[in-house]
Amino acid sequence: MKKIILLCALITITNCTLKNIEKTHGVALLETKFEKLIENKTNKNQILKDLGPPSTKNIFDNSVWIYVGKKTRKKSLFKLARNEDIRSNVVVLEINNRDILVKKQLYTIENIQKINFSEKITTKTKKDSFVFGVLSSFRQKIDSPKRNKKVSQQ
């Protein structure tokens, strides 16, 4: 019986690791892949091959692609829920209408901290606005009990 307990304890101890576990989110090795991209030479297909699909595209214009790469690890054995950022990079690529890379930018943790953000606050829309009235009337029509009865009967 003592041998079984000793064997279980030995297996448990050897499976525990004191080495920090690193987790990668987004594109791995984003900095090295960024260096391979050449402005006015690299095309959209090469970007998709090297980096994969973008994390986000610009809503207003599909010519701006954004890639995110982040690497974290546990801070300490005693702080179980806390993660420490090792690397956090954002790459912004601008592609022209001929699918050629025009501009590339790499933002690291140090660069992001230097960016000045606007202090202005977005104002809320008034409930008396025309758009709010139209949308609320649509909502009332969709939620009306008569409409729900017709849909459920079919």
CA atoms within 13 A on the CB side of 60: 0
- Using one digit for the tens of pLDDT, what is the confidence trace for 101-111? 999 999 887 77
Categorize the per-residue pLDDT at 69 as very low, low, confident or very high, splitting at 50, 70 and 90.
confident
- Please state the pTM of the whole predicted model: 0.60
Cite the DSSP H helix spans in the chain: 2-15, 30-36, 44-51, 109-114, 130-143, 145-153
Which contacts qualify for 129-138: CB closer than 8 Å, 24 or more apart? Answer: none
Closest CA to 27 of 15, 36, 18: 36
20 bridge partner residues: none
Q: Indicate the helix (H) or strand (E) that contains 104.
A: strand 101-107
Question: For the chain, which residues make up each domain, given as ranges?
Answer: 20-116
Mean pLDDT (whole number) for 12-16? 59
The string of DSSP codes covering 24-47 is: EEESTTHHHHHHH--TTT-BHHHH
pLDDT at 144 (0 to 100): 66
Specify the amino acid at residue 149. Answer: K
Overall average pLDDT of the 71-83 stretch: 69
Label residue 56 by pLDDT band (50, 70, 90).
confident
| Whole-number pLDDT of residue 70 | 85
Distance CA(72)–CA(12), nearest Å, equals 26
Q: At what angle do helices 145-153 and 130-143 cross, to 10 degrees?
A: 40
